Chains A and B, each alone.
Chain A
Amino acid sequence: MLAIHNVSKAFGPTPVLHDISLEIARGEIVCLLGPSGCGKTTLLRIVAGLEQADAGQLLLEGQDLAGVPVHRRGFGFMFQDFALFPHRNVFDNVAFGLRMAGQSKAALRGRVLEMLALVGLSGLEARQVHQLSGGQQQRVALARSLAPNPALLLLDEPLGSLDRTLREELIGELRGILRQRPAGKDEPAGITSIYVTHDQQEALAIADRVVIMNAGRIEQIGAPVALYRQPATPFVARFLGMENLLPGQIVEGAPGWLTATPLGLLRSAAGPVDAAAGDSVLAVARPDAARLVDLATRAEENLVAGQLQEVSFRGSQVKITLSYADGQRLVFDLPGAAAGDLPAPGQWIQIQLDPAGISLLARSVDAS
């Protein structure tokens, strides 16, 4: 539905986007995920028409968007700070886009109330926006951007200014609204959306596809589970919270996948498509791949013994840091209940790694 072709952008001498290409299908929710400064918000603003690309093309249903000013694109945009109009109440904020579209006050009333009901704010029409809580403001902003029935919804860190608890509560709700909006006469149920965030959990929870960006380039595109299972680059692995990167060499290719690493031979469930024995790779041991086993256990695969360095109890999880042979560190999350079985820091422990929790990255892409 929307095609982004070779878009580049620089602010003065600083390049922010290099040759970005991306296609978004109707009804799809695509998350742009990356650290701050990676260019994701700029890309979103270019799609909205709030910034102009230096090079490249945007096609909406095959129509070039060049020369279509922001107010004629018919997109919705949710800002990180919501940008609710402070001089208008809740009703008038939600009605704004409908009014701009030329609807009369009487005609738009129903739609506004429908939108407020959708976001669970019925009855608050007459409130001033500064009287609302952060979560309520977020809902008004969502209702406002959905009211004119946008062809494409653009969300710029829509939960970014809310605190952690509220954010987790709203992730599910937002996903529900974007997915299950009651279908109209000629419209499919889902809302085509581009969602910008730096929070990997948010992205993985909401997106159909995640686009991971770094320094103005796309690192990897994929469905959330696929990304998590098979990160393509060390950057993606680290950004998704996988800190245990081990250089290694494939000893046995598909389907057995055995890799020699500083931890010894590691069995993994999958590997890069074209990799074969002898290739250099990076083995990524995900934090949730470890299981505490008895020190006496021997003769099983993927056993790692190390000195326990730090224990950080987080409730449902316990984060452990252990150092192996040459002083390198590994970080794992164990189930919280395992905290009781851990010895004091400084003692040796042994863990076993689930082959499904180990990914192999082709070494050639290792730039970092």
Chain B
Amino acid sequence: MHLPKPWRLLFALPLIFLAIFYFYPLLSILGVSLAPEGRLDLSGVQALWTRPYLAQVLWFTLWQAAASTALTLLLGLPAAYIYARYDFPAKTLLRGLTTIPFVLPTVVVGVAFVTLFGPRGVLNDWLMAALGLASPPIKLLNTVWIILLAHAFYNAAVVVRIVGGMWANLDPRLGEAAAVLGASRWRRTWEVTLPLLAPSIAAASLLIFLFCFTSFGVVLILGGARFATLEVEIYRQTVNYFNLPLGAVLALVQLAITFVVMVVYTRMQARSSLPLNLRPQSMTVRRPATRREWLVVAGVNTLLMLVLLTPLLALAVRSLTLGADAPTLRHYLALGQNPTQSVFFAPPVEAIRNSLLFSLAAVALSLALGLLAAYLLAGNSAHNRPSRLARWLDPVFLLPLGTSAVTLGLGYIIALDEPPLNLRTSLALIPLAYTLIAMPFVVRSLLPALRGLNPRLREGAAVLGASPGQVLREIDLPIIGRALAAAAIFAFTISLGEFGATLLLYQPRYPTMSVVIYRALGQPGVSNYGQALAMSTLLMLVCLVGLLLIERLRVGDAGEF
């Protein structure tokens, strides 16, 4: 777009926002961890060696992330295979269902797993009644197993999307060519398919590792006091012990490791771009032919749906039946009341209002900034080549993705509570954090649409007499409209369920839904638990509707042809 000069300054806004609300807090963390009193003092860093507990936390964080990744691959790869190679009834629906966990807030997943596997959970109740047992047979809560399971639940979709997407577009003729040359089925897998898929499997693994490495809500809710990832430990040091310097040191360690993994990930992505002749999916899928193939397809689907859907169903059913013989809405109705034993001063329904307002503010802000950023990155030359500046900035806008929410919250607490920017008591702090977290998703949603926009369309409109403003209104916005709507929903669902940063930044008078759920879960009594269930179910439904809308709005991406 040929904009008048002063308007081009607008494009600096996203960068200014990143500088103030991302880099400044991170630098403050660096400052506090290395020089808590204003001069260099490495005693905080030394604690990593001198306190074996911290080494344990680091070790646990690393190995649980690795184990979770392995478990996720075990669950996800067979699913990726059948979705990539076979066509079967209800495939679109089933594949859509696999993405559900991905959009669910961690508190919701935590509550769902407690509801299914907890000592008074659906499974145990059912087994005790069926077998006449006196005590719950399944003791998964507060073990590492439930953490791994929840992580696999969360990330299976990543494998199905990344590996399955690659697999689906692999030219089946490559395998056929190998077969003609005498390769057996096993050799074909080993010599052709796996090497071609290896980059995508590695990419998916690194991504999952990263997610599990910074896991917060799942570990906090399901692990109990026994388990802590770095992320959970940062939160405890900050909120429970007010030990900001140690929290900052841990955040620094986490940032460093995340950064290394991110670098490896991007390197691999760059190197893995083999000049493959990708085929449209219609050419690569077929109906299962033999009884065995049907069995494999049915078996993998059943297992997948069992793992992915039962916790969510248990949550929804329990929210209606907890403490009652017949389905009742009483836990939902209780959200509007303010019983004396409630953890908060206000009825929980106000948390819903708070969450909505915070999220809507974040949607507006992240859309405005994200749109500007996406234009900056897409480049508007006639040849639609990103400028050198854009190529350099592209990863910068992705950086917040690699930074954990708790670290961000800690950074805000350290950096934004003193002049010149004292926002500690401002209600704006939470929407600002949400905006920062949502912006990479907004930019990622908009960028392909903008880059895919044929520059000739803008030129065509300009030649026909459309001014730059008219081009924007008549061409850009209508064409990227769907992507814009998808980005808005993305930002909304992410904000609505945000947990880590919120837990550090919220003000007791203005709790959000995720905070209320977490707090209510920690309180005794059926009514608190019931409210947690009801609110989790509501949150889950909103996210499901959002997911449905996003899928509807999806403009055919490269993986889908």
Contacts and interface: CB of A to CB of B under 8 A. Distances in A.
A87 B475 CA distance: 8
Interface string A86-126: 11000000001100110000000000000000000000000
B459 A100 contact: no
Contacts of A73: 463
Contact of B459 (A74, A77, A101): A77
A196 interface: no
A319 interface: no
Contact of A48 (B454, B463, B467): B463
Contacts of A209: none
A83 B461 CA distance: 9
Contact of A71 (B465, B475, B478, B479): B465
Interface residues of B, number: 19
A79 B465 contact: no
A50 interface: yes
Given A83-B456, A85-B457, A148 B465 contact: yes
Mostly helix, strand, loop or mixed at chain A's interface? loop
A76 B466 CA distance: 12
Interface string B441-476: 000000000000010110111111111001000110
Contacts of B465: 71-72, 74, 97, 100-101, 148
A289 to B, nearest CB: 42
A81 B455 CA distance: 11
B462 A50 contact: yes
Contacts of A74: 465
Interface in A18-71: 45, 48-51, 69-71
B456 A81 contact: yes
B456 A79 contact: yes
Contacts of B2: 69
B382 A85 contact: no
A97 B466 CA distance: 8
Contacts of B459: 48, 50, 70, 77, 79, 83
A50 B454 CA distance: 14
Contacts of A86: 457, 479
A75 interface: yes
A77 B467 CA distance: 16
Nearest to B455: A83
Contact of A50 (B382, B464, B470, B474): B382
Contacts of B466: 71, 96, 100
Given A83-B457, A85-B457, A45 B382 contact: yes
A268 to B, nearest CB: 46
Residue from B456, B464, B479 with most neighbouring chain A CB atoms (10 Å): B464
A85 B461 contact: yes
Nearest to A147: B464
Contacts of B475: 85
A79 B479 contact: no
A81 B462 contact: no
Nearest to A100: B465
Contacts of A50: 382, 459, 462-463
Interface of A: 45, 48-51, 69-77, 79, 81, 83-87, 96-97, 100-101, 144-145, 148, 154
Interface of B: 2, 382, 454, 456-457, 459-467, 470, 474-475, 478-479
Q: Which 8 A-B pairs have the closest CB atoms?
A: A97-B464, A100-B465, A83-B456, A83-B460, A77-B463, A70-B462, A79-B456, A71-B462
14 contacts: A50-B459, A50-B462, A50-B463, A71-B463, A71-B466, A73-B463, A76-B464, A77-B459, A77-B460, A83-B459, A85-B460, A85-B474, A100-B461, A100-B464
Given A71-B463, A148-B464, 5 more contacts: A50-B459, A71-B465, A85-B475, A86-B479, A144-B460
